[in-house]
Structure 1
Amino acid sequence: MKSILFSGAMALSLLAGHTATAQQVKASEPESVLAYFEDLGAPAKLVEDNVGDPSVEVRYYGTSMVVFFYGCRNNKNCNSLQFFAAYTEDSEISLSGLNEWNAEQRYGRAYRADDGRKMLEYDVYTGQDGVSMTDFDEIFDIWTEVVESFEDSLS
């Protein structure tokens, strides 16, 4: 019975992946990033950051995050994204713990801001052509693993 369920789930997964590959997620098209999160069922909102570039505010499994757009020309035609999450100064991690966490990571970086908040970032270059929905799923999976790892390191 398990193999039948697994086979059915695998077939649906492949079918979903096949239709998703036709779509691209592009930093040059902020609506494609917003649509990705809406398709996930994650509350998301397209807004402007403090310099007029687009950004997407997202809430995903209890974590508030922002996707910033970079490499923009006149606040449009951006070529890269940055996943970002901030944690209050009450979220403790020692400087050596922060350095150790960073040293163990391939993706993502964390630092302490002057006001004591902890910042977590992960940059992605999409270029003008974007990345497939399948690849963006992998990119977002990496980000969520980075978030989970960092949150586990906070006391």
Structure 2
Amino acid sequence: MKLQTILTAGALAVALTASAHGQSLLTGADVDEVLNAARGYGSATLTTQSNGDPHISGKMNGISYQVYFRNCTDHTNCEDLNFYLGFLDIKPTLEVINDWNFNKRFSRAYLDSDNDACVEMDLDLAVGVTAEYLDSTFGLWSLVVSQYAEHVGYN
């Protein structure tokens, strides 16, 4: 009973904080707002994945990336975003990938089935985020894109 009271009070505090600041929370249903946030960092277009879920193709400083909307209900109300960047024909060593993962906190790098350099990052939207947090996430992704490109020898 005590735990339920604490959890309820915590949820109420979060809700009151967001409304007290006049901010509504964005979720995976707010595709246009996610697209606009992406456009704040370069070009971005909205398309559809083969399964019908939304997908953003973007470019930051000449580097193409993807944002996949994941865990969607009826191609809307998606619970999370998956930021993805893959460099075709850039095949760093496993040591280079491990170095990235050891020294970076908010993304994960790997070699795909062709040993191409890839990096990903996720954003949980299940309970929503503020527009400022979404923008901050795209700002972080922008850093990941540029730093990873340099790390694997793209630049």
Task: Tell me the TM-score normalised to structure 1 length.
Answer: 0.76
Q: Is the CA contact (8 Å cut-off) linking 2:41 and 2:139 kept in structure 1?
A: no
Distance in 1 separating the partners of 2:41 and 2:88: 26
Distance in 1 separating the partners of 2:147 and 2:36: 26
After superposition, residues 27-42 of structure 1 pair within 5 angstroms as 27-38=28-39, 40=40, 42=42
Distance in 2 separating the partners of 1:99 and 1:33: 31
Per the alignment, do residues 24 and 123 of structure 1 end up closer, same or farther by CA in structure 2, a change over 3 Å counting? same
Unaligned regions of 5+ residues in structure 2, if any?
1-21
After superposition, residues 46-125 of structure 1 pair within 5 angstroms as 46-89=46-89, 91-125=90-124
Aligned partner (choices 91, 109, 130) of residue 132 of structure 1: 130
1:4 is matched with none
Q: Is the CA contact (8 Å cut-off) linking 1:65 and 1:84 kept in structure 2?
A: yes
Q: CA deviation at 1:26?
A: 2.6
Per the alignment, do residues 122 and 87 of structure 1 end up closer, same or farther by CA in structure 2, a change over 3 Å counting? same
Q: CA deviation at 1:107?
A: 0.6
Distance in 1 separating the partners of 2:43 and 2:144: 20
> Aligned residues, how many?
132
Q: CA deviation at 1:41?
A: 6.5
2:14 is matched with none
Indicate the SS of the match to 2:56: strand
The percent identity for this pair of structures is 26
Distance in 1 separating the partners of 2:88 and 2:41: 26
Task: Tell me the TM-score normalised to structure 2 length.
Answer: 0.76
Indicate the SS of the match to 1:131: coil
Aligned partner (choices 131, 144, 147) of residue 145 of structure 2: 147
Q: CA deviation at 1:22?
A: 4.0
Distance in 1 separating the partners of 2:133 and 2:116: 31
Unaligned regions of 5+ residues in structure 1, if any?
1-20
Q: Give the CA RMSD over aligned residues.
A: 1.9
